[in-house]
Amino acid sequence: MSTRIDEIADDIYRISTFVPEIAAPAGFTFNQYLIDADAPLLFHCGPRGMFPAVAEAAATVVPLPRLRWISFGHVESDECGAMNQWLAAAPDAQVVHGAVACLVSLNDLADRAPRALADGEVLDLGGKRVRWIDTPHVPHAWESGLIFEETTATLFTGDLFTHAGNGPAVTRESIVPAAIQTEEAFHSTSLAPNIGGTIRRLAALSPARLAVMHGSCFEGSSLASAGEGDRAQRGGGGDCVGELNALADYYERALSAALTAA
């Protein structure tokens, strides 16, 4: 097991731990994301056993007591197993999530009371702005949600686009084929009726990059030479929209096939 840290956008850092034993022989990455701002935010906590390595990497960017917000996609050990360890290391930090997660799990599980965000509500971090997006049952779990960092047009996709292997921190090669291959091996996604529409709603944000929880991040090749300020003014766009729509197409076909076979 090894942990590395890479800046994938202006003041946004991917902390990635590679575990070769999972999905062998390709192996599997577990990624957390640190947004450095006046009030820093961590997205994904990681499992409890990974906390020492991930915390050590995060502390090279932000002293842990400065951490203000802790969030994740849904209640699952690789998403929030280390939640209370982070709360202990960062005395002023608070968990922030959607209203459903707070109601059904986090009001009880978190050592400090969480803050609930409404769908579409924006959290101003000071220099960065994070929009909460409810994605119930996508890719799984009633309380699922994602965040979109508006100043860099970075969409944090959680378990969407999960793919095996230990690729680069950021790629401009399509990650859809690898995501489909991994989905067909794991079958981890709920084929809910709203899955295609939910993913297309994410595409409507026109993100500049996709920050994936398991695997490489994606950045559209058409944006490769643009500066962060240019990307923010343009609202992102490029190939990320195509990646999201292609993933939506795949899941809609899978849902249709499942209903036909039933």
CATH number at 167 reads 3.60.15.10
pLDDT the model gives residue 226: 37
Residue 143: alpha-carbon gap to chain centroid:
14
CA distances to 55, 97, 100, 137, 194 from 134, in Å: 27, 9, 9, 9, 12
Contact predicate 8/209, CB 8 Å:
yes
Total domains, the chain: 1
Burial 35-72 (b: 16+ CB within 10 A, else e): bbbebbbbbbbbbeebbebbbebbeebbebeebbbbbb
End-to-end CA distance of the chain: 41
Q: What's residue 262's pLDDT?
A: 78
Q: Tell me the sheet residues that pair with 134.
A: 145
3-state secondary structure of 90: coil
Q: What is the DSSP string of 119-151?
A: TT-EEE-SS-EEEEEE-TTSSSSTT-EEEEETT
How confident is the model at residue 238, as a pLDDT?
55
Residue range of the domain that includes 39:
2-261
What is the block-wise mean pLDDT of the chain (262 residues), using blocks of 10 residues?
96 98 96 98 98 98 98 98 98 98 98 98 98 97 97 98 97 96 96 96 97 96 43 50 97 95 85
Distance CA 176, CA 179 (A): 5
Predicted pLDDT of residue 235 = 38
